[in-house]
Chain A
Amino acid sequence: MALDPALERYSRQILFREIGEAGQRKICGSRVLLCGCGALGSVLADGLTRAGVGFLRIVDRDFVELSNLQRQVLFDEADVAEGLPKAVAAGRKLARINSQVQLEPLVADIHSQNILGFADGVDLIVDGMDNFETRFLINDTSLATGTPWIYGGCIGSHGQTMTIFPGETACLRCLIEAPPGAGAAETCDTAGILAPVINVIASLQIVAALKILSGHRDQIDPALTIVDVWDGTLRKMNTRNLRDQGRCPACVGGVREWLAGTRGSQTTVLCGRNAVQVSPAERAPVSLSDLADKLRGVGEVAVNPFLLRLTVNSGEFIITVFPDGRAIIKGTQEPAVARGLYARYVGS
């Protein structure tokens, strides 16, 4: 029987037995929320659009910079020159790739007050974020709405992904109780990142998405997949016993601290100073000397026993970090910009 002309562009995907025409129709009728459109997010957006999801909502708070082009495959030098928000630049490219997909690019900072709106009516949430805080918020949202989500994270040559079916499989808080304290973990801006690991992890996330959206969620292992592209290794760590341990406050205990807004960083605009104070979600002492070691490659660093001062973007932003993890970001009055800079250089 001849293929429906509307599905012709997906003919090679349909030939893949596990998808088939019935699976493709389900994919075409699906609705997906993509949180973040940076490195992971741009590969995810590209893959999901080409695969033919029916509706793709892309939420990102950032704008395109030259240092993004090494790995953020949807963007180019013209986007940098125009200073476009990533969501807008992505929406323009994706519309040219597949006009059948209903795209909704949104320039916004995801937080506890708006995430339920973004997640309204979607079948799946896909993680293209660059910080723990938003991932814990996505995790709470998934549990509260019963929407599956696909975690992905990368640093250096190393990446991880895990699919969460709320109430059925281990969730992010089953795996890690809480995000690291300020400055306690590396970020892509302090430890670097190889583009290929982004492509591998995002590709695994897309495959998981296609399984879910085409009706094959039973073919997803309850596992954390760990990849290192430098070593050429892939391990699947069993997550079955994580939820069974019964100590997860979120999926076993029903606590939604991140969604309720009782956990998470707080920002305060400092009037008349063109600055925003960011107080991290996890209050823990910060070793300013260790943080200085991490940041020396990314900007001008000055440190004394009381504070660390990092100057980036040729002086556009000055980030002053205090031993309690609090930071004052000078050069902006936008909390979203300040949170983004904090996530990149201090970690959240």
Chain B
Amino acid sequence: MPTVHFTSHLKNFVDGPLPNVSGTTVRELLDCVFGERPKLRGYVLDELGSLRTHVVIYISDRVMADRVGLSDAVAATEELYVMQALSGG
């Protein structure tokens, strides 16, 4: 099954270990993670369920294309990597 990882900064919004996820699209996989983590969901997605503008999702080594519908396909062997650009310095 696919795996979902968050950059260490976003892990601040993840309480406890991530659940096993199942699904074939980015939306389905993220829904598995966000179920009981509304704060994490709010950080990654906006009120309409689209990816926030400063968040990027990689599917293995390619950037997810559908930032609105999150419909990109994810194969069982692939990794979803959720990250955000950083402002500090």
Contact of A153 among B53, B56, B63, B89 (CB under 8 A): B89
A20 interfacial by beta-carbon distance below 8 Å = no
Q: Given that A129-B89, A180-B52 are contacting pairs, would A158 and B9 also be in contact in the complex, using a CB cutoff of 8 Å?
A: yes
Across-interface contacts of B7 in A (CB, < 8 A): 158, 226, 228
Bound together, the chains give a CA A177 to CA B85 distance in angstroms of 11
* A156-B9 in contact (CB<8A): yes
Across-interface contacts of A178 in B (CB, < 8 A): 53-54
Q: Given that A238-B62, A242-B63 are contacting pairs, would A179 and B53 also be in contact in the complex, using a CB cutoff of 8 Å?
A: yes
A66 interfacial by beta-carbon distance below 8 Å = no
Name the prevailing secondary structure of the B interface residues: loop
Give, as a whole number of angstroms, the nearest-CB distance from A179 to chain B.
6
Across-interface contacts of B43 in A (CB, < 8 A): 184
B8 interfacial by beta-carbon distance below 8 Å = yes
Beta-carbon contacts of B1-25 to A below 8 Å, as 1s and 0s?
0000001110010000000000000
* B62-A155 in contact (CB<8A): no
Number of interface residues of B (CB under 8 A): 24
A325 interfacial by beta-carbon distance below 8 Å = no
Using CB atoms, name the residue of chain A closest to B84.
A185
Beta-carbon contacts of B52-83 to A below 8 Å, as 1s and 0s?
11111010011101010000000000000101
Q: Given that A158-B9, A175-B56, A180-B53 are contacting pairs, would A152 and B89 also be in contact in the complex, using a CB cutoff of 8 Å?
A: yes
7 closest Cβ pairs, A-B complex: A153-B86, A188-B88, A40-B89, A178-B53, A180-B54, A177-B53, A155-B88
